[in-house]
Amino acid sequence: MTTLEHPLIADRLTRLRSKDSSSQEFRSILHNIATLMVPEVTASLATTPCLVETPMEETDGRRITMPIVLSPILRAGLALAEGFLTAIPDATVAHIGIRRDDSTLKPEVYYPNPSVDFAHSNTIVLDPMLATGGTAIEAIRILKKQGARQLSFACVIAAPEGLEALQSAHPDLAITTAALDRCLDENGYIRPGLGDAGDRSFGTT
């Protein structure tokens, strides 16, 4: 697991946490943080040597070996996906719909992924919050069932409980977060956290 330590991310994260940020501000900041996370999240992607013709001469280059698939968990993952697409505009987007039952805290799948060649892609699962870990665990399970092998997970804030659960369920998964918070409360919310990322992104309650 990688926790990002960067002044720009720390600044944006502080603004993101503020209860005074409007939905528009929240989405914009989340988009910015996502873009800043891309270099670290993609740092280990395999590349293949190639030749390229510049206007002056032929030279050596490298290309990403397998295409990139972004799999945002609806709905909060959409803002992260937009930020990642700013840096990786040629990525495929394969949404996955999973919501957490507020009474049981268990994940419920309502929109499985469309048919994508996950077996021959670098798949990055996106969700701003890693709380109990149930939603992420289920998303990764579904993607593996669909053939995904090169998988990673990126979030903005993680709780230790959710991180431990996700690592236990999928020990082969590369995880990147901008912050590791203190704990979950009795309602399954991250503390100090930033509230409900989906509600704050889209102005709902």
Helix/strand/coil (H, E, C) string of the chain?
CEECCCHHHHHHHHHHHCCCCCHHHHHHHHHHHHHHHHHHHCCCCCEEEEEEECCCCEEEEEEECCCEEEEEEECCHHHHHHHHHHHCCCCEECCEEEEECCCCCCEEEEECCCCCCHHHCEEEEECCEECCCHHHHHHHHHHHHCCCCEEEEEEEEECHHHHHHHHHHCCCCEEEEEEECCEECCCCCEECCCCCHHHHHHCCC
The domain ranges of the chain are: 6-45+64-202
Amino acid 105: pLDDT = 67
Q: What is the pLDDT along the chain (205 residues), one digit of tens a residue?
A: 999 999 999 999 999 999 999 999 999 999 999 999 999 999 999 999 999 999 999 999 999 999 999 999 988 899 899 999 999 999 999 999 887 677 776 777 887 766 789 999 999 999 999 999 999 999 999 999 999 999 999 999 999 999 999 999 999 999 999 999 999 999 889 999 999 888 898 888 6
Pick the CATH number of 6-45+64-202 from 3.40.1710.10, 1.10.10.10, 3.10.580.10, 3.40.50.2020: 3.40.50.2020
Q: What is the pLDDT of residue 45?
A: 96
Taking the model in full, what pTM does it have? 0.92
Looking at residue 68, its pLDDT comes to 98
